[in-house]
Amino acid sequence: MHRNCKEKSVETRIVTSQCIQIDQTPAGVGERIFARLLDYLLISLYAVGLTFLLQRPGLKFILNTEYDVFIIFLLASPVIFYSLLWELLNRGRSPGKMAFGLRVVMRDGATPTLSVYLLRWMMLLVDVWFSGLGIFFILVDKDNRRLGDLASGAIVIKERDYHRIHVSLDEFDYLGRGYKPFFPQAENLSLEQMNIIHEALKRDDSHRLRRISELSAKAKEFLKIAPSVDDETFLQTLTRDYQYYALEEI
């Protein structure tokens, strides 16, 4: 299976237990630009409102103290850390991204860590302020990623894919707890062979036990192994080992 998956899969896809691929659709160039412009509009409104308030006679005294530098930094923090705070506290979504149905995720669909969000935020200085370098990379990259995305291993995707991706990843939850294959030979199975085993285990009819017994015998002969477990347990374990090797290729 893992060989078949490797041939078909790309970096923006998740592979399910039967090698069914779920696309993470990258956000379009226009969507990313307009989402960013909306965020800048909100930032500008905050800055204008704050400037207006600080010019009021009753509030001017705030900046005429020995702590004025600290106060200015504190008041400017929502502007400086806007992207970092929103994405970190809102699972990869700023207001602009929410409006256009976008979200930041890792290439494998996982939720980014603090270090990923931090690196994306730091790279904004390069992406946005240096002659629109980020737009250039979004235009030339096949997944519409800016430098911050490339450096952090993240990708901005369309929100509609996010739930499907995580539902699919849930079936592999056990593989994230230091899982070790019982039968390394499972790596040699093909997609067609694994689909037959999967269907046999899933069906519930009068021929189920006979079918499982026959498939188990064929699998043992093909893989040249003699497990000490019953036929159904053997095939279920083989399925999990098969999934493990498939996920290694993502």
Residue with the bigger pLDDT between 24 and 18: it is 24
In DSSP notation, 140-207 reads HSTT---HHHHHHTEEEEETHHHHHHHHHHHTTGGGGTT---S-GGGGG--HHHHHHHHHHHH--STT
What's residue 158's pLDDT? 85
Going by pLDDT thresholds of 50, 70 and 90, the confidence category of residue 17 is: very low
What's residue 10's pLDDT? 39
Supply angle C-alpha 77, 64, 46, rounded to 5. 30
Stretch 120-128: mean pLDDT: 87
Extents of the domains making up the chain:
29-165, 176-248
What's residue 14's pLDDT? 47
Q: Indicate the pTM of the whole model.
A: 0.57
Residue 168: pLDDT over 70: no
What's residue 66's pLDDT? 65
Stretch 197-202: mean pLDDT: 85
Chain-centroid distance of CA 151 in Å reads 15
Going by pLDDT thresholds of 50, 70 and 90, the confidence category of residue 167 is: very low
Residue 229: pLDDT over 60: yes
Stretch 201-226: mean pLDDT: 90
E strand or H helix that includes residue 209: helix 208-223
Determine which of 9-23, 79-93, 108-122, 186-200 has the lowest per-residue pLDDT on average: 9-23
Going by pLDDT thresholds of 50, 70 and 90, the confidence category of residue 162 is: low
Q: Where are the beta strands (DSSP E) in 88-151?
A: 102-106
Stretch 131-148: mean pLDDT: 82
Token code pair at residue 54: 């600080």
Determine which of 28-37, 66-75, 98-107 has the lowest per-residue pLDDT on average: 66-75
Going by pLDDT thresholds of 50, 70 and 90, the confidence category of residue 201 is: confident
Going by pLDDT thresholds of 50, 70 and 90, the confidence category of residue 104 is: very high
Residue 19: pLDDT over 60: no
Distances (CA, A) of 183 to 73, 108, 220: 59, 25, 11
Supply angle C-alpha 177, 180, 12, rounded to 5. 65
Determine which of 90-94, 103-107, 161-165 has the lowest per-residue pLDDT on average: 161-165
- Please state, in angstroms and rounded to a whole number, the distance separating the CA atoms of residues 57 and 48: 17
Q: Which amino acid belongs to residue 75?
A: L
